[in-house]
Amino acid sequence: MKTSIILKVTAIGALLFTSSCAVVRPGQIGIRQTLGVIKGKPLSQGVAFFNPFVSKVVKINVRTVECYNNLPLPTKEGLIVKTEISLLYHVNPEAVNDIYTRFGTNYEEVIVLSNFRATAREISARYNAKELYATDRDKVEKAILSELSNHISKYGFTIDAVLLKDIILPEAMEQAVQEKVTAEQEVLKMEFVIQKQKKEAERKIIEAEAIKKSQDIINATLNEKLLQYYNIDMLKSLSASPNAKIIVTDSKTPQIITNVDGKQ
């Protein structure tokens, strides 16, 4: 009988002990609430003791959280495109008391995601579908991040990143956008080819002008005596060749000059 009573008392004591303490894990901040009133400073990681009959410890996550969304977003031309977009944010530890007081534990839906959806729609409406799909994703992400930060950072939230992961267009429109982007790339390529050809033409003109200038210099220095000298020097070189025969003529009677070996 005594053993049974001791076991019951021990069990009750263990139950009271476990119900009167809370474990605040890394990445969390604890808020001690007594009779509906927040008491003391926020609790960091570790064990926190409290009176379970009048108090409780509310845990707020202060790690970076990813909120994945499938959002239909409007475009500048009035279309609606499906998007896969993620928001990364965290709660500032020093603001947990104020956030809990203002928005409760459902702060993510009440303040973060509601503003995120509205801001994403507002920003996407400034861009055409082609810009969202192909060229300006980075600009859209930065614009949403900046605008959303302006809306909710004052409440104790930090926006870490906005990631526009995918944009799903109607098949016909996606093909049209792809064709337009391809055409624009072809135009850029053609402009590069034209520019290259212009540079090549300029190079050839410079080369031709240099050759002409060189020829002009040579022509300016040539005279009859110099030409006779070059002619004699050339004949001298030819006569030294074992396979050459020189014919000297006065336009009437040709005469063959033998080489040094005496062969005709």
Q: How confident is the model at residue 12 (pLDDT cuts 50, 70, 90)?
A: very low
Q: Say how many domains are in the chain.
A: 3
Grouping H, G, I as helix, E, B as strand and the rest as coil, residue 246 is strand
Tell me the residue range of the domain where 19 lies: 2-61
Residue 48 counted as domain residue:
yes
Grouping H, G, I as helix, E, B as strand and the rest as coil, residue 241 is coil
Phi, psi of 189 (to 5 degrees): -65, -45
Closest CA to 52 of 28, 33, 38: 33
Residue 244 counted as domain residue:
yes
CA distance 260 to 165: 90
Task: Indicate whether 136 and 230 sit together in one domain.
Answer: no
Residue 105 counted as domain residue:
yes
Q: Average pLDDT, stretch 135-152?
A: 90
28: region left, alpha or beta (phi > 0 left; psi from -120 to 50 alpha)? beta
Task: Indicate whether 7 and 54 sit together in one domain.
Answer: yes
pTM confidence score: 0.57
Residue 257 counted as domain residue:
no
Per the listing, tokens 């500048």 go with: 76
pLDDT of residue 198: 87
pLDDT tens-digit profile of 152-208? 999 999 999 999 888 887 666 666 667 777 777 888 888 888 888 888 888 888 888
pLDDT of residue 14: 43
Q: Average pLDDT, stretch 79-83?
A: 86
